[in-house]
Structure 1
Amino acid sequence: MYRDFTNFGQLILILVLTSLVISVQGKHAKPFEVIVGGRSSQVEAPISTPIAEALKPLIFADQRLAVVYPIIQKFKKIITSDPLGITKSWVGPDICKNYTGFYCESPPDNKSALALASIDFNGFQLSAPTLDGFLDQLPDLALFHANSNNFSGTLSASIAKLPFLYELDISNNQFSGPFPTAILGMNSLSFLDIRFNFFTGSVPPQLFTEPFDALFLNNNNFMQRLPDNIGSTRAFYLTLANNKFFGPIPRGIYKALASLTEILLLNNLLTGCLPYELGFLKEAVVFDAGNNLLTGPLPFSLGCLEKVEVLNFAGNYLYGMVPEVVCALGNLANLSLSDNYFTTIGPICWNLIKKGILDVRKNCIPGVPFQRSIVECVHFFQQPRYCPYRVTYNFIPCWLPNFKSPPLAATISDLAPSPS
């Protein structure tokens, strides 16, 4: 750029400024021309190396990465704590290779493109007041894992616009507010983990009709009656533990017999008697309903859970005999019935006690150590106890060569169908 200085005062000023620039920039300065009275002379221009680097154009491997670059940089600015120095790598255009926690792949709609496909922040201990404007603005994201950070706020409804997101894990953070209903209707989402946060209110019953493989909702502050349509879930893993769900375990849970392998209902406020229909959860490996307010006998139908390894009903108000058919389960590794009011066990169950598989401490079983006092037991049984469908509790709805059960009464017409 050229300018013609004819005023002597202006000439002196420009020469002084040029001298200062040259002394600061030294050998890194570049020449430019100053024209004085029609004559030109070259001096050094004030373009420093850092500025020159900043002015270089950013070259991205794909336009899709150019789109998410400013989104990442904006999110970086709101991070309030980064004890592991994770964000120091979030510099420059090479997101796929250099940015810790970011991973790229070809998106489903264009196999020749390269896009930000997944984020794994697990254990990074990052703190930020929100994920809004970041998570919901990454159009090609398929997986987002952010376990064990200090993210807070709520989830933006815009998350529903992410077409490829199928795994969302924001567990062990500081999120609050109601259940993020925006995730309902996201046909791509199959894995939801919001454990160990501060979500409140109720869980929409529609959640159990969505095509999830895993639902981890435990350790929040959900307070509601356990939804009657819980059996409609197609999930393999369903964890509702450590909330405030109340009411009985719905009899319709048997409808999930083809999928559920792990059911965690412990540490809630569940009441009522155990439904006979639990025996139809033929894929169950873990069933845990410990530390609730459940009562009644243990259904013999549990002896049909041939794959089950862990059964936990400790810390309830269950009573009666511990069924031998349950103790005879072939894959059983842990049967926890402590802190109840059982009164009778047979030889098969005795054998499990000796092996350390069965725990019946704090019950009312004569001759077994570490039981409740007689006073406690008498006081409990002085109160009237009633369970509906009592006829079903001794019925075994599957064929077991060493056990038989009496036929169900013909008057019981609304029971779950027998498994084929």
Structure 2
Amino acid sequence: METKSILMLYFLCSFFLHLAVTQEVAKSESEAVGEGAAEKRETLEIIIGGGGSPSPTPSPSPCPPPPPKPLSRLEKARRVLLRFKSIINDTSCYTQNWNANTDVCKFNGIRCATFPTDKQRAVAGLDLNGAKVSGQNGCALPLDGLLNNIEELTFFHVNSNNFSGGIPENITNYKYFFELDLSNNKIGGKFPLKALKNRTLVFLDLRFNKLTGEIPYQLFQQDLDVIFVNDNQFSGYLPENFGSTTARYLTFARNQLTGPLPRSLGFAPNLTEVLFLGNRFSGCLPFEIGYLKKAVVFDASRNFITGPIPFSFGCLKSIQYLNLAHNKLYGVVPDNLCQIPSLRNNGNLSLSNNYFKEIGPSCWSLIKSKVLDVSQNCIPGLPNQRSPLECHQFYYRNPESCPKPESFYYVPCKSHWGWGTSPAHEPQATGSPSEPNVVASHEDQREEELGREGDACVFEIDLLSVNDES
């Protein structure tokens, strides 16, 4: 019995010793319960907040920086102007005080005003007239980069510089832009129709540039007060809708325009001064010109215009300067023309270098007072006339006749002369003019009526209350 107990105890000890030798002790909780169980336990502890140690606190996300303060209108303009200064050759030092330490409104040639919508101060005008700036190292100086980057501009004057290229489209979106002067530069290409899309534009000066092509009819549909396009290379006929213009001052002088003067010219309601001199116009003077009751200056000299002077010219009651010299006009100088008070009182009537052979009685006194110049014509008894042979040859060749010759006796301002004001003789719209049969040749240009620098007229336009401020 004792022996059996000892054997049983030995057997049990051997069994448990075998288990200890054949199995390793788990070194971690995950090994003891398995990987999946440990992960589930950790997840559960996070959800219920339990577990042996607290979970780490996540680091806070950084706040986004505040948006930059928008630039003021003046600061935007300053950057544009300084950038422009950095690319130009300014031999006259016109932009010398354009720098970061000077108030933009005190920059030379800059005019500031209060912008209506947000009441901010803004650059309202830029005047570089006579600055003579050019591109550096002989490079071109385009308008892009200056004119199209200051949207508050109301006027842009850069007379007598070296700008080239075209006009940026952006200005058509400028709400208060009314005056553009690009005269005496190197602007080329066709007429800048894009500029006419700006309905606030009233002053357009493109004189002394290199523009080519035809004058577009859209020009005369704009509500413009001033149109200066002289001394370019425009060609072709003037559009038939010329009389639709609301402009007071127009000059087309010294281009290469051809064809007759449009009949609608007489119905331009505000026309005060118009210059056609130095082109290649031909045909006869339309009697409708006599309707220009406000015209003070009319110059169609140095062309190839022919025919007599219509009697309707005696209705130009405001005319002070009438120049038809250096053409192929002929016949009789109407006496009523020499009776216009504004001409008789220190006016100027130039009919020299034509083929007139007779003058009315009232014209003799104007010759004596040196108001009327009829030198180099065919008028007997006057000095400084063409030779009899030259006059004979001109009339022998049967000078070009004019359509509706009876219209030359129509005087719209005096009903007891001619046909009076009968509606049957009111001007009618005309079709396309026929090609002129006179081949133009180069002629000496007379002394320029408009200088390259400065404007021919001064206009006071109160937009945006644009004022200089120190």
Report the TM-score, using the length of structure 2 for normalisation: 0.72
Partner of 2:191: 179
**1:136, CA displacement in angstroms?**
1.1
State the Cα distance separating 1:204 from its structure 2 match. Answer: 1.4
Aligned equivalent of 1:366, options 358, 362, 380: 380
C-alpha spacing 1:292/1:125, structure 2 compared with 1 (3 Å)? same
1:161 maps onto 2:173 in alignment: yes
1:85 alignment partner in structure 2: 93
| SS of equivalent residue, structure 1 residue 218 | coil
How far off its partner does 1:345 sit? 1.1
**Residues in 2 aligned to 1:363 and 1:391: alpha-carbon distance in whole angstroms:** 24
Identify the residue that residue 125 of structure 1 maps to in structure 2: 132
- Give the drift of 1:157: 2.2
Identity among equivalent pairs (%): 44
Change (3 A) 1:397 1:201: same
Describe the SS at the equivalent of 2:250: strand
CA 88–343 in structure 1, closer or farther in 2 if over 3 Å, else same: same
State how many pairs are aligned. 352
Larger strand fraction of residues: 1
- Which deviates further from its counterpart, 349-358 or 405-414? 405-414
Q: Which residue of 1 aligns with 2:201?
A: 189
- Which 10-residue stretch deviates more, 405-414 or 301-310? 405-414
SS at match of 1:342: strand
Structure 1 residue 93 displacement after superposition: 5.5
Structure 1 position 416, deviation (Å): 5.3
Task: Tell me the distance in 2 between the aligned counterparts of 1:202 and 1:233.
Answer: 17
d(CA) in 1 for partners of 2:350, 2:117: 50
Q: Trace 1:343-358 onto structure 2 (pairs within 5 A).
A: 343-358=357-372
Q: Which residue of 1 aligns with 2:451?
A: none
Kindly tell me: are residues 411 and 101 of structure 1, through their superposed partners in 2, closer, same or farther at Cα, counting changes over 3 Å? closer
Residue equivalent to 2:72 = 63
Distance 1:67 1:97, change over 3 A: closer
* 1:391 aligned residue (406, 409, 416): 406
The amino acid of 2:225's aligned partner reads D
For residues 259-293 of structure 1, the C-alpha deviation after alignment (integer angstroms, 9 at most, x for no partner) is 00001111111111100100001110001100111
Q: Is 1:146 aligned to residue 158 of structure 2? A: yes
Superposed CA deviations along residues 47-98 of structure 1, whole A, max 9, x for unmatched, are xxxxxxxxxxxx99x8101111221122112212x22211221001544443
2:313 corresponds to which letter in structure 1?
A: L
Spell out, residue by residue over 1:370-396, the C-alpha distance to the aligned partner (whole angstroms, 9 max, x if none): 001111111111122311111111221
- The question of whether the paired residues in 2 share the 8 Å contact of 1:136 and 1:161 is answered with no
Give 2:122's aligned residue: 115
Deviation of 1:255 after TM superposition, in Å, equals 2.2
Mapped contact 1:300–1:395 kept (Cα < 8 A): yes
Q: Deviations over 1:315-343 (max 9, x none)?
A: 10000111110011111100010010000
- CA offsets per residue over residues 360-417 of structure 1, 9 Å max, x none? 01100001110011111111111223111111112211138xxx52327989656359
2:227 is paired with a residue whose SS is strand
> How far apart, in 2, do the equivalents of 1:411 and 1:383 lie?
36
User: Could you list the per-position Cα deviations for residues 118-165 of structure 1 after superposition, in whole angstroms to 9, with x for gaps in the alignment?
Assistant: 011111121231111111111100011111122222222222222211
For 2:222 and 2:368, how far apart are their aligned partners in 1?
Answer: 44
Instruction: Sort the Cα spacing of 1:310 and 1:413 in 2 relative to 1 into closer, same or farther, 3 A.
Output: closer
1:96-107 counterparts in 2 under 5 A?
Answer: 96-107=104-115
- Please identify the structure whose Cα radius of gyration is greater: 2
Check conservation: 1:315, 1:338, Cα contact below 8 A. Answer: yes
What is the deviation of 1:225? Answer: 0.8
- 1:10-43 residue CA offsets vs partner (Å, 9 max, x unmatched): xxxxxxxxxxxxxxxxxxxxxxxxxxxxxxxxxx
2-structure distance, mates of 1:85, 1:411: 63
Instruction: Measure the CA separation in 1 of the matches of 2:412 and 2:97.
Output: 60
Structure 1 pair 116/410, CA: closer, same or farther in 2 (3 Å)? Answer: closer
Summarize the Cα distance change of 1:205–1:95 in structure 2 as closer, same or farther, 3 Å threshold.
farther
* Alignment map for 1:1-12 (pairs within 5 Å): none
Residues 165, 189 of structure 1: 8 Å contact kept = yes
Separation (CA, whole Å) in 2 of partners of 1:95 and 1:199? 37
Q: CA deviation at 1:221?
A: 0.4
Compute the TM-score of the two structures, normalised by the length of structure 1: 0.80
- Structure 2 letter corresponding to 1:199: L
Q: Does 1:276 align with 2:287?
A: yes
TM alignment of 1:11-410, pairs within 5 A: 63-80=72-89, 82-92=90-100, 94-110=102-118, 112-128=119-135, 129-256=141-268, 258-332=269-343, 333-384=347-398, 385-399=400-414, 405-407=417-419
- Is the Cα–Cα contact under 8 Å of residues 123 and 148 in structure 1 kept in the other structure? yes
Q: Is the 8 Å Cα contact of residues 317 and 342 (structure 2) preserved in structure 1? A: yes
Q: For the Cα contact (< 8 Å) 1:391–1:409, is it kept in 2? A: no
Letter in 2 for 1:342: F
For 1:282 and 1:108, locate their aligned partners in 2 and report how far apart those are by CA, in whole Å: 39
CA distance in 1, matches of 2:278, 2:302: 5
SS at match of 2:124: strand
What letter corresponds to residue 310 of structure 1 in structure 2?
A: Y
d(CA) in 2 for partners of 1:212 and 1:229? Answer: 14
Alpha-carbon offset, residue 251 of structure 1: 1.0
- Relative contact order, higher structure (CA 8 A, sep 6+): 2
Could you list the per-position Cα deviations for residues 200-236 of structure 1 after superposition, in whole angstroms to 9, with x for gaps in the alignment? Answer: 1122111101000000010000011111111110000
Q: Does structure 1 conserve the Cα–Cα contact (< 8 Å) formed by 2:315 and 2:413? A: yes
Tell me which stretches of 4 or more aligned residues in structure 1 moved more than 6 Å.
Answer: 408-411
Asked if the contact 1:241–1:265 (Cα under 8 Å) also holds between the matched residues in 2, the reply is: yes
